[in-house]
């Protein structure tokens, strides 16, 4: 089988010390030897069925220790096709045949769900269960049915990953990432870690890394691969809770934690004592926009650097803060998602004419990198952004989220910022709904701050009119206990629309 750089690194790390701790899950440690034995068991099953180099293998990417060796077995030399078990069960089951993968791997919790079991039996792939039992880590549940799966795309040469996007602003789609681009993203993470360099000698490092991002999301899989490429043990959380986070940080003296802004806000609101987080030197924050006020508040309370980064399933890592940049530019580059990564070029264009715009002017972000597309052409994003002369990047919103209300354009992010400035609103989201007369109208959902009285629609409307023009003010305000979210903890805008459209139509 092919020995690419990532495969070689995995083999080297997994063979150093089989007795050392590798992954903690549900407060129990699993050794590197246990992970390696399960990985080899998966590889043996796949090789026996001639699913070798570049074969497309689908994995149900649940945050579970049993899934980790399956990921290692597949992604080193094959093409990993992600399935997201956090989707609604019917959508999750329907996505299985949509992958056209000849083999599917998962844990019993997901494989046993009736709609999933029916989809697997009907589609007919090879089905492998990861048991989590060191004595028998792999069970073949179903052999491949060539009659049923004749349309399968068996191989994807040069592709390391086919990942389902989060679906924040539309129907999720599966995006391929070239092996060279994926490896560059994994090894490129070394530039953000003190004492590590790309290509350094393999070793098992001291300290523990906490992984709480969903493995079904690009940030989760990259964090997992970064941990093993660094030879670092990790604590894997199935989902984020403040209590679990406090335990992990205090137990293992975590130095750097990666978290979405929503989790950072939960930690801040829980008023976790400063001494419990004393080991932390940095929070790496991504997957959603970070409110600069929250970043400042966390830093002021805890003295922990907030290192925001920016990327996407389609593009991998694009920009991010280093500790040095944070020390030097925290104030004068406030709100930035960091500096463009080495090898990544960015430019801002006019959304209407496509003409290039000067530094500091907001427009559509285009990117060029060996990790993106063919590496030679500019790739247009859907993000509104600006760049300065030092390659610091600010994300100002999404162009495809614009609401056109009777010919007037409303940017939801601007309305959200204004709404969250109300003292009784802790978090808000704004979407555009269909309107027979105006085409679209903005509507808002919000969470009331703890201890505050829920403001009325009239009060919020009057408050917003102090800073916004009348056409920007939402026509409906819905108080909610919590906002619907995707598995990456972003606000699920499609779910928001589905929830609020009937309410708006009834009110109208």
Residues 64 and 135 in one domain: yes
Task: Give the integer Cα–Cα distance in Å for 127 and 143.
Answer: 7
Residue 490 pLDDT = 84
Identify the three-state secondary structure at position 489. coil
Strands 256-259 and 305-312, sheet pairing: unpaired
Residues 153 and 172 in one domain: yes
Task: Give the integer Cα–Cα distance in Å for 332 and 326.
Answer: 10
Q: How far apart are the first and last CA of the chain?
A: 63
Written in H, E and C, the secondary structure of 393-428 is EEEEEEHHHCEEECCEEECHHHHHHHHHCCCCEEEE
Domain end marker among 399, 434, 459: 399
Contact 129, 111 (CB under 8 A): yes
Q: Is the pTM of this model over 0.85?
A: no
Contact 257, 281 (CB under 8 A): no
Residue 165 pLDDT = 66
Is position 315 within any domain?
A: yes
Measuring CA to CA, which residue among 86, 78, 174 is closest to residue 126? 78
Is position 193 within any domain?
A: no
CA angle 372, 376, 380 (to 5 degrees): 55
Contact 397, 383 (CB under 8 A): yes
- CATH number of the domain that residue 148 is part of: 3.40.50.12780
Residues 59 and 168 in one domain: yes
Is position 96 within any domain?
A: yes
Task: Give the integer Cα–Cα distance in Å for 177 and 167.
Answer: 17
- CATH number of the domain that residue 342 is part of: 3.40.50.980
Task: Identify the domain containing residue 442 by its residue range.
Answer: 402-507
Residues 244 and 125 in one domain: no
Task: Give me the number of domains the chain comprises.
Answer: 3
Is position 94 within any domain?
A: yes
- CATH number of the domain that residue 466 is part of: 3.30.300.30
**Distances from the Cα of 460 to the Cα of 28, 99, 465, 474, angstroms:** 48, 45, 9, 9
Spatial neighbors of 79 by CB under 8 A, at least 6 apart, are 54, 55, 56, 57, 155, 156, 159, 160, 161, 162
Contact 424, 453 (CB under 8 A): yes
Structure token pair of residue 221:
């899989």
Give the position of tokens 């408050």: 463
Q: How do the pLDDT tens digits run along the chain, 508 residues long? A: 666 888 899 999 999 999 999 999 999 999 999 999 999 999 999 999 999 999 999 999 999 999 999 999 999 899 999 999 987 788 899 999 999 999 999 999 999 999 999 999 999 999 999 999 999 999 999 999 988 887 788 999 999 999 876 544 444 678 898 898 888 888 876 655 554 555 567 899 888 999 988 898 888 898 899 899 889 999 999 988 999 999 999 999 999 888 888 788 889 989 999 999 999 999 998 877 788 989 999 999 999 999 998 886 666 678 999 999 999 999 999 999 999 988 889 999 998 899 999 999 999 999 998 766 677 889 888 889 999 999 999 998 777 778 888 777 888 989 999 999 999 999 999 999 988 778 899 999 999 998 999 999 999 999 999 988 888 999 999 999 999 988 678 899 889 999 999 999 888 7
Spatial neighbors of 211 by CB under 8 A, at least 6 apart, are 63, 220, 223, 224, 227, 234, 235, 236, 237, 258
Contact 213, 223 (CB under 8 A): yes
Is position 409 within any domain?
A: yes
Residues 159 and 40 in one domain: yes
Is position 298 within any domain?
A: yes
Instruction: Count CB-CB contacts under 10 A for residue 215.
Output: 26
- Tell me which H or E stretch contains 371: none
Residues 66 and 174 in one domain: yes
Structure token pair of residue 409:
């354009």
Residues 249 and 160 in one domain: no
Task: Give the integer Cα–Cα distance in Å for 452 and 440.
Answer: 31
Is position 221 within any domain?
A: no
Measuring CA to CA, which residue among 341, 294, 345 is closest to residue 321? 341
Task: Give the integer Cα–Cα distance in Å for 232 and 306.
Answer: 22
Contact 294, 308 (CB under 8 A): no
């Amino acid at each position: 089988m092919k020995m690419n750089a990532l495969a070689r690194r995995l083999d080297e790390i997994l063979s150093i010390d089989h007795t050392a701790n590798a992954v903690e899950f549900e407060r129990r440690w699993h050794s590197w030897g246990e992970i390696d034995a399960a990985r080899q068991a998966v590889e043996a099953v796949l090789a026996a069925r001639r699913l070798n180099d570049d074969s497309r293998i689908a994995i149900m990417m649940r945050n579970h220790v049993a899934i980790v060796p399956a990921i290692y077995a597949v992604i080193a030399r094959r093409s990993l096709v992600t399935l997201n078990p956090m989707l609604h069960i019917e959508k999750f089951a329907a996505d299985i045949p949509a992958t056209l993968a000849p083999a599917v791997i998962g844990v019993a919790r997901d494989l046993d769900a009736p709609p999933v079991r029916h989809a697997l039996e009907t589609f007919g792939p090879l089905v492998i269960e990861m048991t989590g039992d060191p004595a028998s880590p792999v069970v073949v549940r179903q052999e491949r049915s060539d009659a049923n799966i004749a349309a399968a795309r068996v191989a994807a040469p040069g592709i390391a990953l086919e990942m389902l996007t989060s679906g924040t602003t539309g129907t999720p789609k599966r995006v391929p990432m070239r092996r060279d681009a994926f490896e560059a993203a994994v090894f490129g993470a070394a530039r953000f870690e003190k004492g590590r360099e790309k290509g350094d000698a393999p070793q098992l490092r001291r300290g523990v890394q906490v992984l709480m991002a969903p493995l079904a999301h690009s940030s989760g899989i990259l964090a997992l691969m970064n941990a093993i490429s660094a030879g670092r043990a990790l604590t894997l959380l199935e989902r984020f809770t403040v209590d679990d986070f406090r335990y992990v940080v205090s137990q293992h003296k975590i130095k750097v934690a990666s978290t979405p802004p929503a989790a950072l806000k939960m930690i801040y609101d829980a008023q976790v004592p400063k001494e419990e987080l004393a080991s932390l030197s940095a929070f790496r924050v991504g997957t959603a926009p970070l409110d600069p006020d929250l970043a400042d508040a966390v830093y002021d309370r805890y003295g922990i650097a907030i290192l925001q980064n920016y990327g996407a399933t389609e593009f991998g890592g694009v920009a991010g803060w280093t500790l040095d940049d944070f020390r030097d530019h925290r104030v004068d580059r406030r709100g930035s998602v960091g500096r463009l990564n080495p090898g990544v070029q960015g430019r801002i264009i006019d959304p209407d004419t496509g003409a290039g715009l000067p530094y500091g002017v907001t427009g559509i972000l285009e990117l060029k990198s060996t990790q993106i597309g063919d590496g030679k052409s500019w790739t247009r994003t859907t993000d509104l952004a600006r760049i300065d002369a030092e390659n610091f990047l600010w994300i100002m919103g999404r162009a495809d989220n614009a609401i056109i209300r009777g010919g007037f354009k409303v940017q939801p992010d601007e309305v959200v910022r204004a709404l969250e400035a109300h003292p009784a609103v802790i978090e808000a989201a704004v979407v555009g709904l269909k309107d027979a007369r105006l085409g679209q109208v903005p509507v808002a959902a919000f969470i009331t701050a703890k201890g505050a009285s829920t403001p009325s629609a009239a009060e919020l409307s009057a408050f917003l009119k102090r800073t916004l023009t009348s056409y920007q003010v939402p026509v409906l305000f819905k108080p909610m206990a919590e906002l619907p979210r995707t598995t990456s903890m972003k606000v699920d805008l499609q779910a928001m629309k589905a929830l609020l459209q009937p309410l708006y139509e009834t009110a109208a």
